[in-house]
Amino acid sequence: MDRIKIVGGNRLNGTIPISGAKNAALPLMIASLLTDETLTLENVPRLRDVAQLTQILSNHGVDYSVDGKRPGQDSMTGQTLHLSAGTVVDTTAPYELVSKMRASFWVIGPLLARMHEARVSLPGGCAIGTRPVDFFIDGLKALGADMEIDQGYVVAKAPGGLRGNRVTFPKVSVGATHTVMMAATLAKGETVIENAAQEPEVADLAHCLVGMGAQIEGAGTDTIRIQGVERLHAYRHPVVADRIETGTYAMAVAMTGGDVVLQGARADLLQSALDTLSQTGVEITSVENGLRIFRNGDGIDPVDVRTDPFPGFPTDLQAQFMALMTRAQGTSRITETIFENRFMHVQELARLGAKIGLDGQVATIEGVDQLHGAQVMATDLRASVSLVIAGLAAEGETVVNRVYHLDRGFERLEDKLSRCGAQIERISG
């Protein structure tokens, strides 16, 4: 199993290209099931989750191809993916595929909308909380689907097709918003989604669906209106820049000191996180086609953070910010409000010398003068990269084990960091 070895202490200087967002690419790929014409996606990151979802879509009959390398492109340039669901040959998403990645459960919406039936295994994914599918089921029921759970599968049927309705989520859910919005594009009449997720990835999906012929208003706000249409058609869409990758590398520069341009980054996608990072003493400025992150070596100021749905501080940056706060000059607190089990990285950071106390969903971090390299183990996707950030500043050698988590969400992380001066390498086997 691959590991990543880091020798800490180097400042980061240079340019890091920001990939297309994984959290946008996955629902966009699933949207290909809504039409019998080809959906072309540009700037798709080369990630394990993308490859896994390609396999799942193939099981439904989606043909796919990937453009070869083009002049001027390098290994950091996103790929172009062509997806064609001319004929859906199977409306079952089996356990052995869905259990590996939670987002694959979202196929239930497009399958139900287009084929009027779906049989999808209950999902898997990172072990960071229960994340029930009740909101998905209730939302699709509101659109007229008959839903039942049978031997670990959600079985959905809508013999006469879906019908528009008002769907109100009791709690904001990105996945449920994606799923119901996709399903509603082919439903008869108008659907109104209330308390919808406002994340940029939701707006990006809506932009693509509108390009395919859907009628959607309000994506990016808490109320989305969808007027159903009879069919969707081919479209070409670029995947939005990854705001979580942007925030992650910004925190890596904050941790180590240095001067890095995040090429392709967009401040509007994570303004809350950037505002928080600025409070730690980091300089963040907009430059042509990106953001410049600079810290000259001065100390890191402690800042308290609370995770919230967009436009608040992202839960997907909580672990990375905690790693940064381990070197702050004082005490900081992080309150996690999204997932109930997302502090599993605390014990691994402690192996590097961090001082972190837990009280329910609140972590109290006492900054230390120096972290020390050690063997650590990744517990989930975002936790794994927090260990990399800590290792970049730790004295001596840090080895991060179980890095397959990293490969699910970060494209060529060690290559991007090493280009900027980090002493980091992948060890195979």
Q: Contact 260/249 with Cβ under 8 angstroms?
A: yes
- Residue 126 falls in the annotated catalytic set: yes
Name the residue among 217, 239, 237, 235 with its Cα closest to residue 226: 217
Token representation of residue 143: 């659109």
Whether residue 306 is annotated as binding a ligand: the answer is: no
What stretch of H or E contains 79? Answer: strand 79-84
- Alpha helix positions (H), 286-394: 318-325, 346-351, 381-393
Name the residue among 158, 212, 219, 218 with its Cα closest to residue 31: 212
Whether residue 173 is annotated as binding a ligand: the answer is: yes
The one catalytic residue among 126, 273, 293, 383 = 126
Q: Contact 25/45 with Cβ under 8 angstroms?
A: yes
Whether residue 204 is annotated as binding a ligand: the answer is: no
Whether residue 102 is annotated as binding a ligand: the answer is: yes
Whether residue 10 is annotated as binding a ligand: the answer is: no
27, 137, 145, 227 from 180: Cα distances, Å: 12, 9, 11, 13
Phi/psi at 265 (5° precision): -70, 150
Whether residue 338 is annotated as binding a ligand: the answer is: yes
Name the residue among 302, 383, 317 with its Cα closest to residue 348: 383
- DSSP secondary structure string for all residues of 354-365: -EEEEETTEEEE
Whether residue 100 is annotated as binding a ligand: the answer is: no
Phi/psi at 236 (5° precision): -120, 125
**Which residue positions form the known binding site for UDP-N-acetyl-alpha-D-glucosamine?**
102, 171-174, 316, 338
Residues that are catalytic:
126
- Please report, in range form, the residues annotated as the binding site for phosphoenolpyruvate: 22-23
